[in-house]
Protein backbone atom coordinates (compact mmCIF):
# COMPACT_ATOMS: atom_id res chain seq x y z
CA UNK A 1 0.00 0.00 0.00
CA UNK A 2 1.24 3.47 -0.91
CA UNK A 3 2.25 6.04 1.70
CA UNK A 4 -0.17 8.84 2.57
CA UNK A 5 0.17 12.52 1.59
CA UNK A 6 1.52 13.63 5.00
CA UNK A 7 4.29 11.01 4.90
CA UNK A 8 5.17 12.04 1.35
CA UNK A 9 5.33 15.75 2.26
CA UNK A 10 7.36 15.18 5.42
CA UNK A 11 9.89 12.98 3.64
CA UNK A 12 10.29 15.19 0.58
CA UNK A 13 10.54 18.36 2.69
CA UNK A 14 13.78 16.91 4.07
CA UNK A 15 15.32 16.92 0.61
CA UNK A 16 17.20 20.24 0.64
CA UNK A 17 17.04 21.96 -2.73
CA UNK A 18 17.74 25.13 -4.56
CA UNK A 19 14.87 27.30 -5.71
CA UNK A 20 14.09 28.19 -9.31
CA UNK A 21 11.56 30.30 -11.09
CA UNK A 22 10.39 28.49 -14.18
CA UNK A 23 9.23 30.88 -16.87
CA UNK A 24 7.24 30.39 -20.05
CA UNK A 25 6.15 32.35 -23.11
CA UNK A 26 3.30 31.74 -25.50
CA UNK A 27 3.00 34.47 -28.11
CA UNK A 28 2.98 37.80 -26.29
CA UNK A 29 2.04 36.29 -22.90
CA UNK A 30 4.62 35.42 -20.27
CA UNK A 31 4.16 33.58 -17.00
CA UNK A 32 6.21 31.79 -14.35
CA UNK A 33 6.15 29.95 -11.04
CA UNK A 34 8.43 28.92 -8.20
CA UNK A 35 9.76 25.38 -8.57
CA UNK A 36 12.08 23.31 -6.39
CA UNK A 37 11.66 20.06 -8.34
CA UNK A 38 14.24 20.85 -11.00
CA UNK A 39 17.16 18.73 -12.10
CA UNK A 40 19.70 18.27 -14.81
CA UNK A 41 18.65 15.17 -16.74
CA UNK A 42 21.29 14.45 -19.40
CA UNK A 43 24.74 15.74 -20.40
CA UNK A 44 24.69 14.68 -24.06
CA UNK A 45 22.38 16.06 -25.20
CA UNK A 46 22.11 18.67 -22.41
CA UNK A 47 18.65 18.19 -20.90
CA UNK A 48 16.91 19.78 -17.93
CA UNK A 49 13.90 18.34 -16.11
CA UNK A 50 11.11 20.17 -14.30
CA UNK A 51 8.27 18.49 -12.34
CA UNK A 52 5.33 20.79 -12.98
CA UNK A 53 1.82 20.42 -11.52
CA UNK A 54 -0.87 19.62 -14.08
CA UNK A 55 -3.04 22.34 -12.51
CA UNK A 56 -0.44 25.09 -12.94
CA UNK A 57 -0.93 27.88 -15.48
CA UNK A 58 2.82 27.88 -16.11
CA UNK A 59 2.68 24.19 -17.05
CA UNK A 60 -0.03 24.91 -19.61
CA UNK A 61 1.99 27.77 -21.07
CA UNK A 62 5.17 25.66 -21.28
CA UNK A 63 3.24 23.17 -23.40
CA UNK A 64 1.65 25.88 -25.51
CA UNK A 65 4.86 27.81 -26.15
CA UNK A 66 7.22 24.83 -26.39
CA UNK A 67 9.93 26.39 -24.23
CA UNK A 68 10.81 27.25 -20.64
CA UNK A 69 13.40 29.21 -18.71
CA UNK A 70 15.05 27.98 -15.52
CA UNK A 71 16.15 30.81 -13.21
CA UNK A 72 18.14 29.69 -10.18
CA UNK A 73 17.51 32.13 -7.32
CA UNK A 74 20.20 33.67 -5.15
CA UNK A 75 20.30 34.54 -1.43
CA UNK A 76 18.08 37.58 -0.90
CA UNK A 77 15.47 36.55 -3.47
CA UNK A 78 13.09 34.86 -1.00
CA UNK A 79 10.42 37.49 -1.69
CA UNK A 80 10.58 36.64 -5.39
CA UNK A 81 10.18 32.95 -4.58
CA UNK A 82 7.10 33.68 -2.45
CA UNK A 83 5.62 36.01 -5.05
CA UNK A 84 5.96 33.48 -7.91
CA UNK A 85 4.30 30.83 -5.72
CA UNK A 86 1.37 32.97 -4.57
CA UNK A 87 -1.98 32.85 -6.37
CA UNK A 88 -2.76 36.32 -5.02
CA UNK A 89 0.08 37.80 -7.10
CA UNK A 90 -0.56 35.52 -10.03
CA UNK A 91 -0.83 38.12 -12.81
CA UNK A 92 1.59 40.70 -11.35
CA UNK A 93 4.49 38.38 -10.66
CA UNK A 94 6.83 40.06 -13.16
CA UNK A 95 6.20 43.62 -11.94
CA UNK A 96 9.58 45.30 -11.35
CA UNK A 97 11.47 42.17 -12.41
CA UNK A 98 13.97 42.72 -15.23
CA UNK A 99 13.81 39.98 -17.87
CA UNK A 100 15.34 39.34 -21.27
CA UNK A 101 14.66 36.77 -23.98
CA UNK A 102 17.38 34.41 -25.18
CA UNK A 103 17.12 31.90 -28.04
CA UNK A 104 13.77 30.23 -27.32
CA UNK A 105 12.02 33.46 -26.32
CA UNK A 106 11.32 32.29 -22.75
CA UNK A 107 11.72 35.25 -20.36
CA UNK A 108 14.91 34.94 -18.28
CA UNK A 109 15.45 36.84 -15.02
CA UNK A 110 18.38 39.25 -15.37
CA UNK A 111 19.39 38.95 -11.70
CA UNK A 112 19.17 35.16 -11.27
CA UNK A 113 22.26 33.18 -10.23
CA UNK A 114 21.86 31.02 -13.35
CA UNK A 115 19.60 31.07 -16.40
CA UNK A 116 18.92 28.02 -18.56
CA UNK A 117 17.06 28.62 -21.81
CA UNK A 118 15.25 25.37 -22.71
CA UNK A 119 13.36 24.12 -25.74
CA UNK A 120 10.69 21.62 -24.69
CA UNK A 121 11.52 18.20 -26.17
CA UNK A 122 9.37 15.78 -24.13
CA UNK A 123 6.53 15.72 -21.61
CA UNK A 124 6.00 12.63 -19.46
CA UNK A 125 3.00 11.87 -17.29
CA UNK A 126 3.74 11.50 -13.54
CA UNK A 127 0.54 11.35 -11.48
CA UNK A 128 -0.63 14.87 -10.69
CA UNK A 129 2.51 16.35 -12.28
CA UNK A 130 4.10 16.44 -15.73
CA UNK A 131 7.82 15.89 -16.21
CA UNK A 132 8.82 18.61 -18.67
CA UNK A 133 12.14 17.87 -20.39
CA UNK A 134 13.94 20.66 -22.19
CA UNK A 135 17.07 20.80 -24.31
CA UNK A 136 19.29 23.55 -22.90
CA UNK A 137 20.10 26.00 -25.69
CA UNK A 138 21.87 28.70 -23.68
CA UNK A 139 23.18 29.31 -20.15
CA UNK A 140 24.18 32.37 -18.14
CA UNK A 141 26.07 31.93 -14.88
CA UNK A 142 26.66 34.83 -12.46
CA UNK A 143 28.63 35.15 -9.24
CA UNK A 144 26.74 34.75 -5.99
CA UNK A 145 25.28 32.39 -3.41
CA UNK A 146 22.27 30.11 -4.00
CA UNK A 147 19.00 30.40 -2.12
CA UNK A 148 18.26 27.03 -0.49
CA UNK A 149 15.03 25.46 0.81
CA UNK A 150 14.67 22.83 3.56
CA UNK A 151 11.63 21.78 5.61
CA UNK A 152 9.66 24.86 4.66
CA UNK A 153 12.41 27.40 5.39
CA UNK A 154 14.84 29.33 3.25
CA UNK A 155 18.53 29.23 4.03
CA UNK A 156 21.99 29.53 2.58
CA UNK A 157 24.84 27.16 1.75
CA UNK A 158 27.36 26.53 4.54
CA UNK A 159 30.75 25.44 3.23
CA UNK A 160 33.17 23.09 5.00
CA UNK A 161 30.82 21.48 7.56
Residues in touch with ligand FMN (CB under 6 A): 19, 33-37, 51-53, 56-58, 85, 87, 90, 149
User: Using CA atoms, how far apart are residues 16 and 79, in angstroms rounded to an integer?
Assistant: 19
DSSP 105: -
Shortest distance, position 13 Cβ to ligand FMN, whole Å = 10
Cβ within 8 Å of residue 137, ≥6 positions away: 102, 103, 104, 117, 118, 119
Shortest distance, position 106 Cβ to ligand FMN, whole Å = 14
Shortest distance, position 55 Cβ to ligand FMN, whole Å = 7
Shortest distance, position 26 Cβ to ligand FMN, whole Å = 13
Q: Residue 17: phi, psi to the nearest 5?
A: -140, 170
**Strand ranges inside 54-128, DSSP E:** 67-72, 99-101, 107-109, 114-126
Closer residue to ligand FMN in complex, CB, 151/160: 151
Closer residue to ligand FMN in complex, CB, 47/85: 85
Closer residue to ligand FMN in complex, CB, 1/16: 16
Closer residue to ligand FMN in complex, CB, 136/148: 148
Q: Cβ atoms within 10 A of the Cβ of 97, count?
A: 18
Amino acid sequence: MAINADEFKAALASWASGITIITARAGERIHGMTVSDFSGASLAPPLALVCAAKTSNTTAMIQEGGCFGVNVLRVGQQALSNRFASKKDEWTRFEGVETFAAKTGAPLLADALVNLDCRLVAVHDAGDHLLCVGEIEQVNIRDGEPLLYFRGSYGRFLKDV
